[in-house]
Amino acid sequence: IGTTSQVTGTISVDPANPSSAEISTITIDARDITTDNNRRNRSIQRQILRSALDENRYITFEPTSIAGLPGVVNIGESFLFTVDGILTVRGETQPVAFELSVTPVTPSEISGMATSTILYEDFNITIPSVPSVASVENVVRLELEFVAAMSE
């Protein structure tokens, strides 16, 4: 499990018309992704994501469509929708769909989780084989937990 808090992007929502929501490009600083093991972190930066190289530093997701947004939302009631877009990792670009679960927390704040599953091979990523280390599946589950607050 790798985590980072270095994620940027914008969600624009009109509470009176949630179906008109827009999401900007989401950018993740891959150099900041860390696990519970420093050797693994170095391997991710140098071999797997190659984020130590400037051209691979950022992972981006550019939304192309949003489907399933409700016409009305209520504080405290979660809703689901899908965001399709283009994910770029290490210069490799593939279409990806994220399922989102969002909860309006207050009239000016939402929280949520976006999830998707990708394959390493779709992004031309190989995992080094290391003796005495369990093998790594080709499937990667991506999760982005977020809180968005209304700005003036």
What is the rounded average pLDDT of the residues 99-128? 91
Determine how β-strand 139-149 pairs with β-strand 58-67: unpaired
Q: Tell me which of 92-96, 99-103, 125-129, 142-146 is least confident.
A: 125-129
Band of residue 59 on the pLDDT scale cut at 50, 70, 90: very high
Specify the pLDDT at position 128.
74
Specify the pLDDT at position 138.
79
Provide long-range contacts, Cβ within 8 A and 24+ apart, for 79-87.
Answer: 79/103, 83/23, 83/114, 85/61, 86/61, 86/62, 87/59, 87/60, 87/61, 87/116, 87/118, 87/123
Render pLDDT for 66-93 as a digit per residue (tens, 0 to 9): 999 998 888 999 999 999 999 999 999 9
The count of other CB atoms within 10 Å of the CB of residue 71 is 7
Q: Is the pLDDT of residue 136 over 70?
A: no
Specify the pLDDT at position 134.
58
pTM assigned to the model: 0.87
